[in-house]
Amino acid sequence: MKVCIAEKPSVARDIAAIIGAKDRKDGYLEGNGYQVTWTFGHFCTLKEPHDYTDQWKSWRLEALPMIPPSFGIKLINNDGVKKQFKVIEQLVKQCDEVINCGDAGQEGELIQRWVLLKAQCTAPVKRLWISSLTEEAIREGFQKLKNADQYDNLYAAGSARAIGDWLLGMNATRLFTTKFAQGKTVLSIGRVQTPTLAMIVARQKEINAFVAEEYWELKTIYRDTEFTATIDRIKVLDRAEKGLAYLKEHPFEITSFEKKEGKEGNPRLFDLTGLQVEANKKYAYSADDTLKYIQNLYEKKLVTYPRVDTTYLSEDLHPKIATIMQDLTPYAALTAPVLANPIPKLKTVFDDKKVTDHHAIIPTGVYPSGLGPEEKRIYDLVARRFIAAFYPECKISNTTVLGKVGQVPFKVTGKQILEPGWKEIYVNDVTAKKEGEEEEKILPVFVAGESGPHTPRIHQGKTSPPKAFTEATLLRAMETAGKQVDDEEMRELLKDNGIGRPSTRANIIETLFRRKYIEKRKKNIFATQTGIDLIDTIQTEILKSPELTGIWERKLRLIEKGEYAMETFKQELIQMVIDLTTEVKTANYKVITIVPDQPAAKEKEKEKADKPKKESKSAAPKKTILIEEQQCPKCKAHLLKKGNTAYGCANFKACGFKIPFEVFGKKLTDKQIADLLAKGKTGKAKGWKLAGTGTEVEGKLTLNAAFELEIKP
């Protein structure tokens, strides 16, 4: 018997249907020589400090650093996990072969390896490695099963990452909290979290320190075209006025007219970060939400594996592109020009050297039906980007006109699209224009030496502060370890030194929000005073440097390639933690008292003070902190507020638990949500609308055994 272990029940069902395991059992499906079972994402975790020794139960400065002699794993403390693990444990003890069907990435490898390690599996293990969940991909994957040891380096990198995060996170958080914090304040330090916060704080300080300055520019209109003087900005009005008087005394003369034709290269296919950036710019979706939507599309077989960091396709995919294009029937009008000719093997699209475990995110060709509005938008971004990659380049004409008035030089530039090429894909999309991209501006033809009257003027302006981070620009900064990079090829080169991984960056940003180190105002991200105080307290540069964290990330990637030893990386981190502990224990930094930075809470307190006492007594206490501090009832991870739609598990990809703010036609109160989490049910209420019929009923909202919401009398 062969035992297949998938990462989710839904994926297990898809696999079982294809390989003929159709008999339902308790915790698995069986048939045709296979038993197909599943996890719900992470079943195991690294042991906590108190699991090693009682001395590490309490947070004491003298107990640091905590360096376990060897790192162990344990099951997550959850009844559902324990029950399903027993099923897996029993199956692998009796089988002839295990097929690891986890997600084909570093996290998926780690999840499955830890489960097999905990289950003391001795059977030979094969690996199913696929880039989509379509029937064709699964069948092909089973025909080409890999030996599990081909992915030992991937597992080593995942283990090294987890151990590194434990060593630094556990030690540094306790170290700074016991040394510098007061009261019950916890100063949370993380290998990726802290340098990310440091970038935001540095930008915040630049913005706070910025003082706007007035300036004046000389401009003039000649033949209905406005030219700008190419001299330094004038900082004194009197000088600008003298310049204006000078311009009025001289005619305008054209000194040069140059028109060059050029091309605008096609946009690259999406990697996860690129998709998150585009979705944030276009729809203001958070990185976390975009990851959720694209993961759903992957599980619905509509797109390929999304947790990728490459914008290229492997060369063996080239023969399949035409078929995928033909299957994109909703986009038939756009794909027709591509399909009219053989698909070109473009170097900007196909490159085996730029593809590691997976290729860029592309559609599978499965018809996209039954999608919600958010998933539709994300699918549309992926589909259009895929089609645009195979269109001709956009041909443009750039015009530069130079002139002078007396001795003052002037300039104007123009741009004209000669052949739109790939821009045809976005012709009706007003939001598709790249940030900072100039509008098309057609200039008249000028002749060098021509001269004539003009209309000069003074333009008054103010210098602008540095721009605050948005999630889009923060993701790019994480990807390039804080370097400002616009060039696609240079960005590709810097990815190995980025901080975090595409699949983890969204969660890092959400963690900073949850801990109230950062906040969002419209689309912009700002550091709170709490976040600023924390970074100011950390004097050790290695903890907050994006560049140094990027070096660690590069070493993790080298481990994945088999070019760096996991044990070496671990010993380097152990030594760093020892050195850090010695430095901080003897340091004489300031001691900070963090006051929660919650302007909204202050406003609520003011409103409360203005109400009559009777109203104030009956006012419901704030529940937001209570809810976010409770555990996910399914897997015991912490909860996150998912925008304005739901509370969900921080480990949502694996767990899938969430409570929408509105369900069965009613908006839930904070108390009802808190009751669901604590008791598994709310009080009785009227007006629940049954799905499908819309019939209103009275009853209690409850969580059933599968952690789904239902109404009970």
Catalytically active residues, by annotation: 305
Q: How many CA atoms lie within 13 A of 463 on its CB side?
A: 12
- Distance between CA atoms of residues 707 and 78, nearest Å: 13
- Distance between CA atoms of residues 481 and 551, nearest Å: 9
What is the dihedral angle through the alpha carbons of 160, 165, 168, 171, rounded to the nearest 10 degrees? -120
- Distance between CA atoms of residues 670 and 621, nearest Å: 9
Q: Which of 106, 248, 100 is nearest to 560 (CA)?
A: 106
- Distance between CA atoms of residues 119 and 85, nearest Å: 8
Q: What is the DSSP string of 463-489?
A: --PPPPEEHHHHHHHHHTTT-----HH
**Residue 693 identity (one-letter amino acid):** T
State phi, psi for 592 to the nearest 5 degrees: -105, 145
State phi, psi for 266 to the nearest 5 degrees: -65, 150
Question: Within 10 Å of residue 278's Cβ, how many Cβ atoms?
Answer: 21
Question: Within 10 Å of residue 572's Cβ, how many Cβ atoms?
Answer: 13
State phi, psi for 49 to the nearest 5 degrees: -50, -45
- Distance between CA atoms of residues 399 and 401, nearest Å: 7
- Distance between CA atoms of residues 537 and 539, nearest Å: 6
Strand ranges in 286-442 using DSSP code E only, listed in sequence order: 394-405, 408-419
**C-alpha pair distances (Å), 549 with each of 1, 19, 196, 541, 555:** 45, 44, 10, 10, 10
**C-alpha pair distances (Å), 286 with each of 169, 289, 357, 362, 527:** 25, 5, 26, 21, 17
- How many distinct helices (H) and strands (E) make up the chain? 25, 27
The sign of the torsion formed by the CA atoms of 511, 512, 516, 520 equals negative
CB 252 within 8 A of CB 411: no
- Distance between CA atoms of residues 38 and 34, nearest Å: 13
Alpha helix positions (H), 144-236: 152-180, 193-209
CB 257 within 8 A of CB 445: yes
Furthest C-alpha separation in the chain: 97
Question: Within 10 Å of residue 47's Cβ, how many Cβ atoms?
Answer: 14
